Structure formats: C-alpha cells, structure tokens
Amino acid sequence: MDIEWLRKFCLSLPATSEDIKWGNDLCFLVAGKMFCVAGLDQPHKLAFKVPDEMFEELSTSDGFIPAPYMARAKWVMVQNISKLSKKEWERYILQSYTLVKNKLSKKLLKELGI
C-alpha cells in the first residue's frame, strides 16, 4: 500500500474529499468529517476510526497504537503501513468511512446522494 493507492481507494468512496491538515497530514473526509488520516512523512503512518468494541483489542495489537489526539473517538494508528495487506486496508478504511457516514443526518446523506 502506498499513498497513491490510498488516494485512489478513498476518493472512490461516495462524497469523499481530501485535504492537507496540520501541515503534513493527508486527510480523507465524507461531508467534511474525517475518516482516514495519512502522515506524508516517511515512514507513513495511517489512522482511522474503528467500532467501539474493536478499539481496545486493535489498539493494543502489534503495529497499532491508539491514535494521538483521536483515541477518545476510537481511532487507531498503524505505525507500519506494510503491516496490513491491501484487502485488510480496504476493509478497515471502508469500515471507518461507514462509521463516519452513518453519523450524518438523513438530510445530508440525501443531499450528497449517498
């Protein structure tokens, strides 16, 4: 997995945009709400939201940590992006996207066409 693959995958999700925040973090958003953040410095680190029931187990797994500043919202960070396969990345990113999208209002979802 590399940054270009990540961009292509995330931007393929409905109503997704990207932005650079905090100087050097590539953020992917649905309706202005972040669902994935990638550090552009090498080595790349990637953070995403997980379901509440997965947070504790995943955040203490090898290669994962609670995401700095975002752990209270149940985000984890992968410190070595080669730790996961592309299929695993797709699953985690799609899950994060879905968690964030599902908190949007029905009106906004309709406006976005999703």
pLDDT in tens, 45-54: 999 999 999 9
DSSP string, 2-43: -HHHHHHHHHTSTTEEEEEETTTEEEEEETTEEEEEEE-SSS
pLDDT in tens, 85-95: 999 999 999 99
Q: Domains in the chain: how many in total? A: 1
Tell me if 110 is assigned to some domain: no
Beta-ladder partners of 26: 20, 38
- In which domain, by residue range, is 69 found? 3-105
Rg of the chain over Cα atoms, rounded to whole angstroms, equals: 13
Tell me if 113 is assigned to some domain: no
Q: Is 23 exposed, middle or buried (0-12, 13-18, 19+ CB in 10 A)?
A: exposed
Tell me if 114 is assigned to some domain: no
> What is the rounded CA–CA span in Å between residue 18 and residue 69?
20
Tell me if 111 is assigned to some domain: no
72 neighbors 65 (Cβ within 8 angstroms): no
Is the confidence at residue 25, as pLDDT, over 80?
yes
Determine the average pLDDT of the residues in 64-87: 92
Tell me if 35 is assigned to some domain: yes
Which CATH number is 16's domain given?
3.90.1150.30
Tell me if 92 is assigned to some domain: yes
Tell me if 88 is assigned to some domain: yes
> What is the rounded CA–CA span in Å between residue 111 and residue 15?
10
